[in-house]
């Protein structure tokens, strides 16, 4: 055989050998004779689920870290107090009311100060009074001292409203006694915790019931979620307290009380019968989260060192 033919034959044989040694074409990554490649699809789905779960966990951890709770709803707290450095908001009060103005500042929580029966009575009072009005926005108030009641986008006097309708059995003498007893208990607790004579501490205005829902705000009075300082909003305030009359995550969603500190925020989760209290200056800047579902009831009870700004126990028409 001529040399050229032998060389060509060897090249063809080598080429054929290389072709035979190649891997067969891979199967389709899209379909098999029976449809999708379920094994690969399931692996991808599981991977996505793991990634999403990890992201959710991270976000929850970050949220929890950014918003630690001073009092969770499931806690049963006899007393829990957190000291704070006093702000400069009390300079004038310290000059005028040396014994009473805050020198020891902070915030506290008590779950056993108000009895269940007392809290139930006050919730009934709040619901009864608020049933004659109600804001068209998400926040309604009832002030038994002045008679102010939210109605639509304004306020009416509940006592005048009831008188005009000839109604005399909304509130009872027992309601008055419980209202006075609870406010006195809270005044005494604040007196002890902040080391001020209880005889120098006076109930002041506004002291009121509140009802919050997820209705869109209609007026500025509905926008309770803005950061604020009670001493700036109400100059007479020296000590603020709240009695919660509904349960976070059971009666409503959102609506936690949030303290705004220089480095982070801290929450108090409302619990039926829980009392929170704090000095009213900028060391306790705060707001309430928007209620996203349900109804949040609470009572704000305020105290001043200025006797001229004191208010008396409300007088109600009785049955």
**What are the residue numbers of the active site?**
296
With both helix axes pointing from N to C terminus, report the angle between 116-130 and 173-193 in degrees, rounded to the nearest 10: 120
Q: Report the alpha-carbon distance of residue 124 to residue 143 in Å, rounded.
A: 14
Q: What angle do CA 279, 297, 174 make, to 5 degrees?
A: 90
Q: Report the alpha-carbon distance of residue 27 to residue 125 in Å, rounded.
A: 75
Report helix, strand or coil for 252: strand
Strand partners, 276: 109, 242
- The number of CA neighbours under 13 Å toward the Cβ of 102 is 30
CB 274 within 8 A of CB 166: no
Q: What is the DSSP letter of 22?
A: S
Which H/E stretch holds residue 164?
A: helix 158-165
CB 155 within 8 A of CB 148: yes
Strand partners, 155: 150
């Amino acid at each position: 055989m001529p040399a050229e033919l032998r060389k060509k034959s060897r090249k063809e044989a080598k080429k054929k050998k290389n072709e035979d040694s190649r891997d067969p074409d891979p199967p389709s990554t899209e379909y098999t004779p029976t449809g999708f490649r379920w094994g690969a699809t399931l692996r991808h789905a599981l991977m996505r689920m793991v990634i999403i779960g990890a992201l959710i966990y991270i976000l929850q951890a970050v949220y929890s870290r950014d918003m630690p709770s001073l009092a969770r709803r499931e806690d049963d707290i006899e007393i829990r107090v957190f000291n704070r450095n006093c702000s400069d908001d009390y300079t004038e009060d310290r000059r005028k009311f040396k014994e009473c103005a805050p020198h020891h500042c902070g915030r506290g929580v008590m779950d056993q100060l108000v009895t269940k029966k007392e809290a139930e009575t006050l919730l009934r009072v709040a619901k009864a009074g608020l049933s004659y009005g109600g804001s068209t926005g998400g926040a309604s108030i009832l002030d038994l001292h002045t008679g102010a009641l939210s109605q639509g986008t304004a306020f009416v006097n509940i006592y005048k409203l009831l008188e005009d309708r000839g109604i005399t059995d909304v509130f009872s003498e027992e309601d008055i006694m419980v209202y006075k007893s609870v406010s006195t208990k809270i005044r005494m607790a604040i007196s002890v915790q902040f080391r001020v004579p209880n005889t120098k501490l006076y109930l002041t205005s506004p002291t009121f019931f509140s009802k919050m829902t997820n209705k869109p705000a209609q007026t500025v009075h509905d926008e309770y979620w803005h950061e604020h300082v009670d001493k700036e909003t109400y100059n007479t305030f020296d000590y603020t307290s709240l009695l919660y009359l509904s349960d976070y995550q059971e009666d409503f969603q959102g609506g936690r009380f949030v303290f705004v500190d220089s480095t982070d925020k801290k929450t108090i989760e409302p619990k039926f019968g829980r009392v929170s209290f704090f000095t009213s200056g900028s060391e306790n800047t705060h707001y309430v989260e928007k209620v996203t579902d349900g109804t949040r009831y609470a009572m704000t009870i305020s105290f001043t060192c200025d006797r001229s700004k004191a208010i008396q126990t409300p007088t109600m028409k009785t049955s």
